[in-house]
């Protein structure tokens, strides 16, 4: 088994495999600027995807292409986001003063903009269904680990430190969350590049 990967700036550690089949494809950092004055590191993240699901998708759709050709395909990440591939975004909280209220606000801004992008105008209800899972009594101190997992059937399952928060079935919501990390305007561009390279090498 491979050793965990450590995010260098924060020291957050990511196991190279989750469960028994999800492989770590890349890690990155989510920052947020406060009043345009300074950047805080909010959390480190790792993106995982089911090895055999990815291989299946690759062999069906990209069989005859070389790695460098595939890397030139803009649609691959779209395929990854849209298809029913089991994936997990693992967040490890770095910022020590995170309140549930600021999580809700940030979420409405980041995920809200993606819901609009992919789903059009009226997604308030879906957004509220998700954020209403975040109870005020939850605590997310530095070091907390949150999993956002897309399970079969486009079910988004959330856990905090291994405890269930809830599940919501929505292809749009799953796609919107993944878009934050591997879409056109990702939180961490370097992380996205790393993920693409690792995907390309899974083909072998």
Residue ranges that bind ligand DAO, judged by CB under 6 A: 30, 32, 34, 42-43, 58, 62, 70-71, 73-74, 76-77, 91, 97-98, 100, 102-103, 106-107, 110-111, 134, 138, 140, 146, 148, 158, 160, 196, 199-200, 203
Query: Looking at beta carbons only, is 1 or 97 nearer to ligand DAO?
Result: 97
CB of 35 to ligand DAO, least distance (A): 9
Distance of CA 81 to the CA centre of its chain: 10
Annotate 108-142 with b (16+ C-beta within 10 A) or e (fewer): bebbbebbeebbeeebeebbeebbeebeeeeebee
How many angstroms separate the CA atoms of 77 and 155, rounded? Answer: 19
CB of 33 to ligand DAO, least distance (A): 9
From its phi and psi, is residue 143 left (phi > 0), alpha (psi between -120 and 50) or beta?
A: left
CB of 128 to ligand DAO, least distance (A): 14
How many angstroms separate the CA atoms of 203 and 196, rounded? Answer: 11
Query: Looking at beta carbons only, is 3 or 60 nearer to ligand DAO?
Result: 60
Query: Looking at beta carbons only, is 1 or 189 nearer to ligand DAO?
Result: 189
The residues, ordered by sequence, that sit 6+ positions from 97 with a Cβ below 8 Å of its Cβ are none
Query: Looking at beta carbons only, is 1 or 60 nearer to ligand DAO?
Result: 60
> CA angle 37-40-42, nearest 5°?
145
CB of 121 to ligand DAO, least distance (A): 21
Neighbouring CB atoms inside 10 A of 188's CB total: 19
Query: Looking at beta carbons only, is 73 or 168 nearer to ligand DAO?
Result: 73
Under DSSP, the state recorded for 204 is -
Query: Looking at beta carbons only, is 6 or 67 nearer to ligand DAO?
Result: 67
CB of 120 to ligand DAO, least distance (A): 20
CB of 18 to ligand DAO, least distance (A): 17
């Amino acid at each position: 088994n491979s050793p965990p990967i450590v995010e260098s700036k924060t020291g957050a550690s990511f196991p190279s495999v989750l469960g028994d089949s999800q492989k770590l494809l890349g890690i990155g950092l989510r920052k947020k600027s406060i009043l345009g004055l300074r950047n805080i590191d909010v959390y480190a993240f790792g993106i995982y995807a089911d090895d055999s699901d990815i291989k299946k998708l690759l062999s069906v759709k990209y069989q005859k292409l070389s790695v460098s050709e595939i890397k030139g395909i803009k649609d691959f990440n779209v395929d990854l986001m849209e298809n029913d591939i089991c994936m997990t975004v693992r967040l490890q909280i770095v910022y020590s003063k995170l309140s549930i209220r600021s999580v809700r606000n940030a979420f409405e801004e980041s995920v809200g903009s993606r819901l609009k992008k992919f789903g059009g105008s009226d997604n308030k209800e879906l957004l509220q269904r998700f954020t209403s899972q975040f109870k005020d009594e939850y605590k997310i101190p530095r070091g907390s680990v949150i999993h956002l997992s897309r399970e079969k059937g486009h079910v988004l399952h959330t856990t905090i430190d291994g405890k269930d928060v809830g599940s919501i079935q929505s292809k749009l919501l799953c796609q919107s969350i993944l878009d934050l990390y591997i879409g056109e305007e990702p939180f961490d561009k370097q992380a996205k590049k790393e993920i693409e390279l690792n995907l390309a090498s899974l083909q072998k």
